[in-house]
C-alpha cells in the first residue's frame, strides 16, 4: 500500500476513533483511542508525536501511531499503534513505528522508547523487533480487553545509553534468573551484582481501616504538593488518580487505576515508600476489590529493601528495563514487579523466540513463589 504519513490533527479524531474501533472493538482501554478531548490534547501536546497514515488513492485513514513523552523526562511510550484490518500485512505498522521513533528517539529528544505489546499473535512483537525494539519481559494478565491478556515489554534505546548504566552491586537472589536472561538477550552485564538473601519483611499493620480516595483532580494536586521534585519519585507517563491512606493518615499511597483495562500502577508513597512497606498486602487487596486484576510497581534495581518487600507480598519480577532513568551522566535500571489476582493462563500466549526466555524466567519465578517446596521422605 502507498500511504502518506503525516502528523495527526484534531480533524483526524473522528476517523481515528473509527480506526481503533475497527482494530480493537469496544474494549480499547485507553483514552488515546476513545476520548475526543484527551485525543485533542495529545495531538497538540508538544511532548507527543502522533502520526497517521492515509491512503494516497482514497484518503482513507489506514494507520496510526504515537510516541508520548512528558516534561522533564527523556523516556517515551509507543502507543496507539494500529493498522486498519484491510491493510494488515502491508508493512504500514513498521513504517509508522519507524517514523515516530525517527521523530523522537533518533532526533535526540529521548533516551529510550518502550512499548507494551500484545501476545495474542507474534505479529506485534515482530513489528517492533524489526524497528530496533528488544524484549524486556512479560507482564502477565496486564490488561482486560475482550478477556484478560498478558503483554510483553519492549524498548529501544538511543546509541550508547546502555553502556552508561550505573552498576548495581547487590540484588535479591530471586532476581538472578531475570538478570541472566537480560544479559543474554540485550548484551549487557550484571557480573558485579552479588545475589543475596531478601531482607526481612516489614511487620504487618495493626488492624486499621484503609481508605481509597478516588478524586483525580484532588489527588493530582496533593501529589504535586508532596512531590514537586520528580527526583523523589519516578513512574513515567503515569499520573496518579487515586490515593490510599489509613485512618490515622500515617502515609499516603499514590496510584494510577484504570478500571476499563482492569489494571493499576503503584506510583509512590508519602512521606516515604518505606512507610507503606508493611501495608502492601492490604493495599493490593483494596485495589483488587476496586477492579484491578493486575497491580504493578516500578522499582529501582539498586533498592534491595523495596524489591524484597514486594517479593514478600507475592509480587514477581516479570521485566527488567535497563537504563530507564537518566541521572547525570549515568542511567539506572528498573524492575517491573507485578501481582495478579486472576488465574494466569499462558496456553493462548504466542511469543517470538527472543521473548521466550523471559517467559520461561517468569514461569520459574512464579513457581518458586507460589508452589510449595517438595520434600522427599527417606
Count other Cβ atoms within 10 Å, centred on residue 87. 17
Helical spans, DSSP H, in the chain: 13-24, 36-44, 92-104, 123-130, 176-186, 216-226, 280-289, 304-312, 356-370
- What's the whole-number mean pLDDT along residues 347-351? 91
pLDDT at 73 over 90: no
pLDDT at 137 over 80: yes
Q: Which of 41-50, 68-77, 166-175 has the lowest mean pLDDT?
A: 68-77
Q: Do residues 298 and 325 touch, judged by C-beta distance below 8 A?
A: no
Q: Distances in Å between the alpha carbon of 126 and those of 86, 93, 134, 169?
A: 19, 10, 10, 34
pLDDT the model gives residue 272:
86
**Cα–Cα dist 275/202, whole Å:** 10
Helix (H) or strand (E) segment spanning residue 116: strand 112-118
- Collapse the DSSP code of 307 into the 3-class scheme (helix H, G, I; strand E, B; otherwise coil) and give the result: helix
pLDDT bracket for residue 348 (50, 70, 90): confident
Q: Which residues contact 275 (CB under 8 A, 6 or more apart)?
A: 250, 251, 269
Count Cβ neighbours within 10 Å for each residue of 226-238 and write b for 16 or more, e otherwise. Answer: bbeeeeebbbbbb
Q: Do residues 168 and 333 touch, judged by C-beta distance below 8 A?
A: yes
pLDDT the model gives residue 375:
52
Residue 175 buriedness (CB in 10 A; 0-12 / 13-18 / 19+): buried
pLDDT at 48 over 80: yes
The predicted-structure confidence for 122-131, as pLDDT tens digits, reads as follows 999 999 999 9
Q: Distances in Å between the alpha carbon of 3 and those of 99, 100, 146?
A: 13, 15, 30
User: Nearest-5° angle of CA 317, CA 323, CA 324?
Assistant: 70
Instruction: Give the predicted TM-score (pTM) of the model.
Output: 0.92
pLDDT bracket for residue 320 (50, 70, 90): very high
pLDDT bracket for residue 1 (50, 70, 90): low
pLDDT the model gives residue 101:
96
- What's the whole-number mean pLDDT along residues 38-43? 95
The predicted-structure confidence for 208-240, as pLDDT tens digits, reads as follows 789 999 999 999 999 999 988 766 677 777 889
**Cα–Cα dist 288/167, whole Å:** 35
- What's the whole-number mean pLDDT along residues 244-260? 93
Amino acid at each position: 500500500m502507498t500511504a502518506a504519513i503525516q502528523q495527526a490533527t484534531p480533524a483526524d479524531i473522528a476517523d481515528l476513533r473509527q480506526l481503533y474501533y475497527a482494530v480493537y472493538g469496544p474494549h480499547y482501554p485507553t483514552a488515546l483511542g476513545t476520548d475526543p478531548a484527551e485525543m485533542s490534547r495529545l495531538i497538540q501536546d508538544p511532548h507527543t508525536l502522533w502520526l497517521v497514515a492515509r491512503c494516497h488513492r482514497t484518503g482513507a485513514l489506514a494507520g496510526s501511531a504515537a510516541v508520548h513523552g512528558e516534561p522533564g523526562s527523556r523516556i517515551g511510550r509507543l502507543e496507539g499503534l494500529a493498522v486498519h484490518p484491510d491493510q494488515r500485512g502491508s508493512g504500514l505498522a513498521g513504517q509508522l513505528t519507524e517514523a515516530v521513533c525517527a521523530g523522537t528517539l533518533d532526533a535526540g529528544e529521548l533516551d529510550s522508547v518502550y512499548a507494551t505489546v500484545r501476545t495474542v499473535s507474534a505479529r506485534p512483537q515482530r513489528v517492533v523487533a524489526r524497528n530496533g525494539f528488544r524484549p524486556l519481559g512479560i507482564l502477565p494478565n496486564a490488561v482486560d480487553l475482550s478477556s484478560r491478556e498478558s503483554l510483553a515489554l519492549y524498548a529501544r534505546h538511543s546509541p550508547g545509553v546502555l553502556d552508561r548504566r550505573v552498576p548495581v552491586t547487590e540484588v535479591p537472589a530471586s532476581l538472578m534468573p531475570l538478570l541472566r536472561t537480560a544479559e543474554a538477550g540485550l548484551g549487557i552485564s550484571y557480573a558485579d551484582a552479588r545475589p543475596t538473601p531478601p531482607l526481612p519483611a516489614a511487620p504487618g499493620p495493626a488492624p486499621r481501616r484503609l481508605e481509597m480516595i478516588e478524586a483525580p483532580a484532588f489527588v493530582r494536586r496533593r501529589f504535586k504538593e508532596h512531590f514537586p521534585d520528580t527526583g523523589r519519585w519516578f513512574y513515567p507517563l503515569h499520573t496518579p488518580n487515586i490515593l490510599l491512606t489509613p485512618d490515622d493518615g500515617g502515609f499516603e499511597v499514590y496510584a494510577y487505576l484504570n478500571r476499563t483495562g482492569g489494571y493499576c500502577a503503584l506510583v509512590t508513597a508519602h512521606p516515604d515508600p518505606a512507610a507503606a512497606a508493611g501495608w502492601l498486602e492490604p493495599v493490593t487487596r483494596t485495589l483488587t476489590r476496586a477492579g484491578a486484576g493486575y497491580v504493578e510497581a516500578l522499582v529501582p534495581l539498586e533498592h534491595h529493601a523495596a524489591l524484597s518487600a514486594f517479593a514478600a507480598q507475592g509480587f514477581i519480577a516479570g521485566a527488567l528495563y535497563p537504563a530507564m532513568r537518566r541521572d547525570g551522566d549515568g542511567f539506572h535500571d528498573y524492575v517491573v514487579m507485578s501481582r495478579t489476582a486472576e488465574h494466569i493462563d499462558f496456553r493462548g500466549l504466542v511469543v517470538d523466540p527472543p521473548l521466550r526466555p523471559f517467559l520461561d524466567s517468569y514461569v520459574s519465578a512464579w513457581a518458586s513463589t507460589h508452589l510449595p517446596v517438595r520434600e522427599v521422605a527417606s
